[in-house]
């Protein structure tokens, strides 16, 4: 019985294997994956303007500390803090009483010296003819001459003291040395001010039209610019060199400025080179001390190869993009580039004219995948600030 069951099982197993082998022989290979649909641009080098962007700080084109030139009690502030003043306008009044007294005293001293001078001159004019007649000695003439010269010198000194007293009295009324905007008063009314040290500063006046914007760029950026100009890759169009600034709220200042100063040395502590732009500011739209973003326009990159930044992959090997070969298959290409123009990257090495770059569907691509390209035009330049 057991032998019969064994033979039946072997027969069933053989039949099953035969059916399985027969089924395998009739199966077909799985269909190939469809091409990946992706947008593609064809590289066409262009001459583009690369804006160089830096942080900046506004400052008055002229800043003057108003200081007391005589000491005394500050009696009065005659301007409104924060308002514009004209050159020569009255700002403060220092107690003038001591200086009026000093002026009166100087007048009296001058009167005494003038009287002494008149007497000395009379003595000299009387002694001189007597000496010519041998009626008086040489010593008498010398004494009269000396007294006359000393009296004349005393008058000169007294006149100088009188003028100094007038000047000091005038200094008790402190006036604006320039036209501009005033800051807060530093000592309050009733304070004792002095003509020296920290006690002399009363306020500050800023001239804000034109307005300065101070910024710095690195030595590395300067050398890179020089290399680009030397290699013919960069044009510095001085006739088109303009400066624009973006304010802290993101808005752009409507007026255009120009660079009027670049330092001749590198700051050893920061490795940067100081520069300054000047802007018209007739309506006081900007104030000193504002942080802004400075963009210098007029640096042109010749025959620049641009790709959208969203098409660039950053890997451990560096920057890469997907490109199409002659059979429309995807492959990774290493590139080198750091300059940005709006939303595009300027490629230094790795791409050239005619190369086809895939700009989307990047996550679905593998090396060797067939791609169904949808060619799009080169992206327009947004013109937003980049870095050089």
pLDDT in tens, the chain (388 residues): 445 444 544 455 444 444 444 444 444 556 667 888 999 999 999 888 877 889 999 999 999 999 999 999 999 999 998 888 999 999 999 999 999 999 999 999 999 999 999 999 999 999 999 888 888 889 988 999 999 999 999 999 999 999 999 999 999 999 999 999 998 889 899 999 999 887 789 999 999 999 999 999 988 888 888 888 888 888 877 767 789 999 988 899 999 999 988 888 898 888 899 999 999 998 888 888 999 999 988 888 888 888 998 899 988 889 999 999 999 999 999 998 877 887 888 898 899 899 999 999 888 889 999 999 898 886 555 444 444 4
Residues 327 and 291 in one domain: no
The residues facing 57 across adjacent strands are: 214, 291
Residue 15 within a domain: no
- Residues 11 and 256: their CA atoms lie apart, in Å, by 96
Give the domain-ending residue among 144, 171, 198: 171
Is residue 82 helix, strand or coil?
A: coil
Residues 214 and 297 in one domain: yes
Q: Report whether 40 contacts 356 (CB < 8 A).
A: yes
pTM of the model: 0.65
Q: Report whether 176 contacts 91 (CB < 8 A).
A: yes
Residue 272 within a domain: yes
Residues 220 and 234 in one domain: yes
In terms of phi and psi (left: phi > 0; alpha: psi -120 to 50; beta: otherwise), the region of 259 is beta
Q: What is the pLDDT of residue 31?
A: 66
Is residue 200 helix, strand or coil?
A: helix
Q: What is the pLDDT of residue 17?
A: 43
Q: Report whether 82 contacts 183 (CB < 8 A).
A: yes
Report the number of distinct structural domains present in the chain.
Answer: 3
Structure tokens at 256: 């255009």
Name the residue range of residue 363's domain: 36-46+302-375
Q: At 128, which CATH number? A: 1.10.287.470
- Residues 67 and 69: their CA atoms lie apart, in Å, by 6
Residues 319 and 355 in one domain: yes
Q: What is the pLDDT of residue 226?
A: 86
Helix axes 97-132, 138-171, angle to 10 degrees: 160
Quickly list H helices, the chain. Answer: 2-26, 97-132, 138-171, 219-230
Give the domain-ending residue among 254, 286, 301: 301
Q: At 311, which CATH number? A: 2.40.420.20
């Amino acid at each position: 019985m057991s032998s019969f069951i064994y033979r039946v099982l072997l027969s069933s197993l053989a039949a099953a294997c035969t059916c399985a082998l027969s089924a395998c022989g009739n199966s077909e290979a799985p269909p190939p994956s469809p091409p990946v649909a992706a947008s593609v641009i064809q590289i066409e080098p262009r001459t583009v303007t690369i804006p160089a962007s830096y942080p900046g700080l506004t400052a008055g084109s002229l800043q003057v500390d108003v200081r007391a030139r005589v000491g005394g009690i500050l009696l009065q502030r005659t301007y409104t803090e924060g308002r514009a003043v004209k050159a020569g306008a009255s700002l403060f009044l220092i107690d003038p009483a001591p200086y009026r007294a000093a002026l009166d005293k100087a007048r009296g001293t001058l009167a005494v010296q003038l009287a002494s001078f008149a007497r000395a001159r009379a003595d000299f004019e009387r002694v001189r003819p007597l000496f010519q007649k041998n009626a008086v000695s040489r010593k008498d003439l010398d004494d009269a001459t000396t007294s006359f010269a000393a009296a004349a010198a005393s008058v000169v000194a007294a006149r100088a003291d009188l003028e100094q007293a007038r000047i000091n009295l005038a200094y008790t009324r402190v006036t604006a040395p320039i036209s501009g905007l005033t800051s807060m008063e530093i000592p309050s009314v009733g304070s004792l001010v002095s003509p020296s040290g920290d006690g002399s500063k009363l306020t500050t006046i800023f001239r804000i039209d034109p307005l300065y914007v101070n910024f710095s760029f690195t030595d590395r950026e300067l050398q890179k610019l020089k290399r680009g100009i030397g290699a013919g890759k960069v044009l510095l169009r001085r006739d088109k060199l303009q400066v624009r600034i973006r304010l802290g709220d993101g808005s752009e200042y409507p007026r255009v400025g120009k660079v009027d100063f670049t330092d001749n040395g590198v700051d050893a502590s920061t490795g940067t080179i100081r520069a300054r732009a000047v802007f018209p500011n007739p309506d006081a739209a900007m104030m000193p001390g504002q942080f802004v973003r400075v963009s210098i326009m007029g640096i042109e990159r010749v025959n620049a190869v641009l790709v959208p930044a969203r098409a660039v992959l950053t890997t451990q090997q560096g920057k890469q993009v997907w490109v199409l070969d002659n059979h429309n298959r995807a492959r990774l290409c290493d590139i080198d580039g750091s300059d940005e123009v709006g939303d595009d990257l300027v490629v230094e090495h790795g791409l050239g004219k005619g190369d086809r770059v895939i700009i989307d569907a990047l996550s679905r691509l593998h090396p060797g995948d067939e791609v169904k390209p949808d060619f799009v035009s080169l992206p327009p330049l947004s013109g937003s600030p980049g870095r050089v």
